[in-house]
Structure formats: structure tokens, C-alpha cells
Amino acid sequence: MVDSTDKKAKSSPVRDDVISTFLKHRSALIRYISRFIHHPQDIEDIVHEAFLQTYAAEIKTHIHSPRAFLYKTAKNTALKHLDKCTNRLTDYMGDMAELAVTADAVSTESRVESQERFIAFCRAVRTLPLQCRRAFILRKVYGLSHKEIAEQLGISASTVEKHLANGIIRCSEYMQACGMSERDPALNGKKRGMGDSA
């Protein structure tokens, strides 16, 4: 995609091509990213970052297909953002659950157990391999279909299915090893729908 020949003088019309490509496809790029990132400001930031990275790359070496490069950069930036959000969400939910247990001394045993199961589940998800974790979160948190996940991650629907099945198995094993019941709502009910690719 990138030609490293003639790294020296790059004409401004070439860089103008990157700008015009971005302006032409900006709305479509926003729609593409909004399929799995939902906060408008985050989408804007990702699209802007993708443009800056594409423009910077063009300064260093000629990009044959600015549109393809722009989309690929936006996708990679969005996936990094998703990973960061996942880690923050896990940390936040763990902290909130622990604060809730501390603040409410009269919590029932079932409430405490439920919070402990949720914390264990979040930790289990963090142990999944990167691509497996991405597929698992896109399905469980964002509710994307297998087809949508396959498109976002650039893998086949059957690979998505394998990642989700692996995620369920590994999270269940992790929680069992922690002495948690397998009746966690994040796991149960989803097993029956694993084959649902709608």
C-alpha cells in the first residue's frame, strides 16, 4: 500500500489528494466507525486522528490508496480505543462494586455475591487473548451480530464464532477456578444464543 521510493520531495498536490479524500469520505468514515463506537465525540476524535496519521504517513512516503489507508488507520485507531475503554470499564466497575460493598454495610449476601461474580467476570474477560476479547466485548457489551463483528475485525464469521465460544469457555473456567457459580448472567443465556448471527 505504501511506496517507500522517492521519500524526498513530495508535491503538495499529492498531500492535497489525502485532504480531498478525507473530505470526500469523512461522512462515510464517521458512519463506519459509529457501528462499533457510540460516543459522538470519540467518533470525531478517531476520524480526526485517522486523518492526521494518514497525512503524516503521506509526508514520509507516497500512499497509493489514501482511502484504503484512511479506513485501515481509522479501524486500528478505533480498536485501540475500544481496548482502552474496556480496561477503563473493567477497572471502573471493579472499583464501583468494591465501593458499593464498603459503603453499604447492610448489603445482603446475594448482592455481595452478585458483585463478586461481576468483578470476577470482568477479570476473566481481561485474560482473554486480544482478538478473542475484542470479539467477545463487541458481542456481549455492544450487541453486534457475528457478521458485524467479522467486518469490524476483518475475520470470518466462523472465526468470530470460535472466538465467542472460546471466550465463554475460558471465562467460565476462570470463574469456576475463583469458586464462582456458572450461573452468572453474563455467561448464562448467551450460550444458547451463541449460534445467533443475526
Whether 5 shows a pLDDT value over 60: the answer reads: no
- 108-198: in CATH 1.10.10.10: yes
B/e letters for 35-69, b = 16+ CB within 10 Å, e = fewer, are ebbeeeebbeebbebbbebbbebbeeebbeebbeb
pLDDT (tens digit, 9 = 90+) per residue, 158-172? 999 899 888 888 888
- pLDDT (tens digit per residue) in 107-120: 566 666 677 777 88
CATH 3.40.1620 fits 11-107, yes or no: no
Q: What is the pLDDT of residues 19-76, one digit of tens each?
A: 888 888 889 998 888 887 877 888 888 888 888 888 888 888 888 888 999 999 988 8
Residue 162 burial class via C-beta count within 10 angstroms: exposed 0-12, middle 13-18, buried 19 and up:
middle
How high is the pLDDT of residue 94? Answer: 54
Q: What does pTM read for this prediction?
A: 0.46
Q: Give residue limits of the domains in the chain.
A: 11-107, 108-198
